[in-house]
Amino acid sequence: MKTFTDFMGRKVTLENGYVDNTQHVLIIPKFQGQFLLTNHKKRGLEFPGGKVEAGEALVEAAQRELYEETGGLVANLHFVGTYTVHDKDEPFSKAVFCCNLDRLDQLQDYKETSGPKLVNNIEEIDDKDKSELLKDECIVHLYEEVRENGCQ
């Protein structure tokens, strides 16, 4: 287990396995050699993700959120770990996946986002355009792991 601190000063842990009652997903996708981000209308550029719906498996939620926010269709999805924010009022966990995409569809509506953005690396993005999540120590660590090791 690795430990980090998020932008709000909360303890964050990263575990290699699944955590019970995980209700969120985060996906680090690649398409044609580039990382695929979504442009959240309020927060800025970040990796796609969101809440698991009732009766939905984590993998199904990851595929759905990815498609809704970017139009990306998964070729291969791999579990990376579980990111847990130890908030004193309401702790929550995110199952983190990486994937390569078969294709990127253009959608009429990207839900709460302005759609996809492809980048070679997140370092090329101006900090003012990044969401706080894309600056998060643990998420940056996960991104670097996927960048260095591929999605396996």
Q: What angle (nearest 5°) sits at the alpha carbon of residue 107, between those of residues 119 and 123?
A: 10
pLDDT along the chain (152 residues), means of 10: 94 95 96 95 95 96 96 94 93 96 92 92 95 95 94 76
| Backbone torsions φ then ψ of 70, nearest 5 degrees | -135, -20
Helix (H, G, I), strand (E, B) or coil at 96: strand
- Write down the domain spans for the chain: 2-149
Helix (H, G, I), strand (E, B) or coil at 72: strand
Note whether 69 and 77 are within 8 A (CB): no
Note whether 22 and 52 are within 8 A (CB): yes
Q: How many whole angstroms separate alpha carbon 117 and alpha carbon 125?
A: 11
**Strand spans (E) along the chain:** 2-5, 11-15, 24-31, 34-40, 44-46, 49-51, 72-85, 92-104, 113-119
Could you name the CATH architecture of 2-149?
Alpha-Beta Complex (3.90)
- pLDDT for res 111: 82
Helix (H, G, I), strand (E, B) or coil at 60: helix
Tokens at residue 35, please?
A: 């990382």
- pLDDT for res 148: 93
| Backbone torsions φ then ψ of 77, nearest 5 degrees | -115, 130
